[in-house]
Amino acid sequence: MSVTGPSLDVTDPARELPRHSIGAAARHCGLSQDTLRWYERIGLLAHIGRDNTGKRRFSDRDLDWLTLITRLRTTGMTVADMIRYAELVRAGASTIPERLAMFRKTRADVLERIAELEQTVAVLDHKISIYEQQTLSDAVRSTDNAAS
């Protein structure tokens, strides 16, 4: 599996076929249907195909994009930055240096957040240890009192 989804031939034209309903796309990426509609309205999603009744249909490529932007959101990247990234992708290869800079900054931010979370876990572990020792001491005293 790749970072954005299953390892598939990205040149396969079948990946462009709009075949997934909005409900299936929402389940795939863990977002609501309303969020997907909003993402389309604000330009975070490129044109989404429609079936003959006008209902949205997402391609495999769209699902890969949704997986990526969902992960970017998890990093703490703002919606505005995600829109900027989408614009850069659509603008073509000449924007690769700017996209690289965005991802390097986002990566550094994530690593900083991980370090903060590791420190938080250490504090929690310390407090858990204190409370476990106190609980054990209370249990031993309770047993000693019952034996007397």
3-class state of residue 97 by DSSP: helix
Q: How confident is the model at residue 148 (pLDDT cuts 50, 70, 90)?
A: low
pLDDT digits (tens, 9 = 90+) for 130-146: 999 998 887 777 777 76
Average pLDDT over residues 113-142: 92
Q: What whole-number distance in Å separates Cα of residue 53 and Cα of residue 73?
A: 32
> Can you give the residue ranges of every domain in the chain?
1-91, 96-148
pLDDT of residue 9: 61
Average pLDDT value over all residues in the chain: 89
Quick: pLDDT tens for 28-71: 999 999 999 999 999 999 889 898 999 999 999 999 999 999 99
Write down the CATH number for the domain with range 1-91.
1.10.1660.10
